[in-house]
């Protein structure tokens, strides 16, 4: 047999074995500030474990390395809920501060702690879905010999996300890519993939009639209200006004038990006049099906929620977004025609009523949402991650 043929035959036999034996070690750093970062890290972990030989470990960076994490989480929750103006001021000032300084000085203590941990773990790749570890691991990656990647979880980026040594960035939109380039990040390092979502959002959705039957819903105009982890205050009055329109209203309260109790009480009160037209839910894994069954979403503007809605071609009426990172999302969706912004509770009903009465406008918003949505973001991100190891 000619030598080239022998080499070719050997490669065909040995390369699959090499791939099987090579199990890259991937660490995903996340944090518990809102549910979005955890959701993204879980989506990445599930995909990598299912579709590759990678050894994947998800770690809450702030919980492990920052001694005041519980206090900081409480402060974040309370300030965004009760002092949004103060939080917005902090967000803007810190954005300018980190944009003008070398973050190494500010983060030196955490860099040292993380270095010790990563020296022992010896990862091939560290993926960060939260700003602080993204910068730290970009610095340490060059020193310790691993690749670093950052997944930005909103449609805009606080400067704390950014460091020139990061090997790869994954962003939600081409507009955000342009913004990162103006801030000094090489375009070759930026992939426009969208924000990773659970695999259910990549599956072809059932049509509305089928999914409504599956969920025991009436086949009528349906509004889904995602109240969010921190709730949207007492929403009873808004719900009462919404139910004056001939629609059905699904209210997902998540883990907010008090909010769920309020909506259940409203359901009892309205049962005689609006039988079956308000559906209160707590935490559910059926968000993708609920979005598929709905014509319109009401909610805040968290990066994950809006990305899920865009993947399902579902327009949004945005109400009470967190000032700071969620304003990036508001601006992107409103500017691109996929959302309306209700500045006050009195305008929520007005916006919903307008879209109910102007279905052509709603259909146009659905089209725009589909253009923004990236249901395959998780697989696109993971394939790129595996390619750089």
Encode pLDDT of 77-90 as tens digits.
777 777 777 877 87
Average pLDDT score over residue span 317-324? 90
Of 127 and 16, the structure prediction assigns the larger pLDDT to: 127
In which band, very low, low, confident or very high, does the pLDDT at 17 lie, cut at 50, 70 and 90?
very low
**pLDDT value, residue 91:** 79
Percent of the chain with pLDDT over 90: 66
In which band, very low, low, confident or very high, does the pLDDT at 276 lie, cut at 50, 70 and 90?
confident
Average pLDDT score over residue span 145-150? 98
Residue count (the chain): 389
What is the rounded average pLDDT for all residues in the chain? 89
Q: Is the pLDDT of residue 176 over 90?
A: yes
Q: Could you report the per-residue pLDDT of 354-373, keeping only the tens digit for each?
A: 999 999 999 999 999 999 99
Average pLDDT score over residue span 226-253? 82
**What is 3-195+376-387's CATH superfamily?**
Response regulator (3.40.50.2300)
The domain limits of the chain are: 3-195+376-387, 200-372
Here the tokens at position 315 are 């327009």
**pLDDT value, residue 9:** 55
**pLDDT value, residue 19:** 45
Of 7 and 341, the structure prediction assigns the larger pLDDT to: 341
Of 84 and 281, the structure prediction assigns the larger pLDDT to: 281
Domain 200-372: assigned CATH number = 3.40.50.2000
**pLDDT value, residue 18:** 43
The answer, as to whether pTM is greater than 0.75, is yes
Percent of the chain with pLDDT over 70: 91
């Amino acid at each position: 047999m000619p030598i080239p043929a022998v080499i070719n035959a050997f490669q065909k036999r040995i390369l699959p074995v090499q791939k099987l034996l090579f199990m890259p070690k991937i660490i995903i750093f996340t944090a518990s500030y809102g549910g979005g970062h955890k959701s993204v890290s879980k989506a990445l972990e599930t995909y990598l474990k299912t579709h590759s030989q990678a050894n994947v470990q998800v770690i809450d960076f702030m919980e492990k390395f920052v001694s005041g994490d519980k206090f900081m989480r409480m402060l974040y929750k309370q300030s965004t809920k009760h002092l949004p103006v103060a939080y917005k001021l902090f967000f803007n000032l810190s954005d300018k501060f980190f944009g003008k300084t070398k973050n190494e000085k500010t983060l030196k203590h955490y860099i040292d702690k993380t270095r010790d941990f990563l020296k022992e773990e010896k990862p091939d790749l560290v993926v960060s879905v939260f700003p602080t570890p993204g910068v730290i691991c970009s610095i340490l990656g060059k020193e310790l010999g691993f690749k670093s990647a950052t997944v930005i979880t909103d449609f805009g980026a606080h400067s704390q996300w950014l460091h020139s040594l990061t090997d790869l960035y994954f962003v939600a939109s081409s507009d955000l890519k342009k913004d990162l380039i103006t801030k000094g990040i090489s375009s070759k390092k930026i992939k426009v993939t969208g924000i990773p979502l659970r695999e259910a959002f990549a599956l072809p959705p059932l049509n509305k009639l089928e999914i409504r039957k599956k969920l025991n819903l009436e086949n009528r105009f349906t509004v889904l209200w995602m109240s969010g982890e921190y709730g949207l205050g007492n929403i009873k009055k808004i719900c009462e006004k919404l139910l004056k329109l001939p629609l059905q209203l699904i209210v997902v309260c998540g883990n907010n038990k008090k909010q769920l109790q309020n909506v259940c009480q409203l359901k009892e009160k309205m049962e005689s006049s609006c039988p079956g037209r308000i559906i209160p839910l707590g935490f559910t894994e059926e968000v993708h099906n609920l979005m598929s069954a709905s014509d319109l979403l009401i909610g805040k503007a968290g990066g994950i929620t809006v990305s899920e809605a865009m993947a399902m071609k579902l327009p949004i009426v945005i109400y009470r977004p967190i000032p700071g990172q969620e304003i990036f999302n508001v601006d992107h969706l409103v500017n691109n025609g996929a959302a309306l912004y209700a500045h006050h509770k009195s305008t929520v009903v007005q916006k919903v009523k307008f879209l109910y009465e102007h279905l052509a406008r709603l259909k146009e918003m659905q089209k725009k949402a589909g253009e923004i949505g990236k249901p395959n973001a998780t697989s696109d991100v993971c394939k790129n991650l595996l390619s750089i190891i």
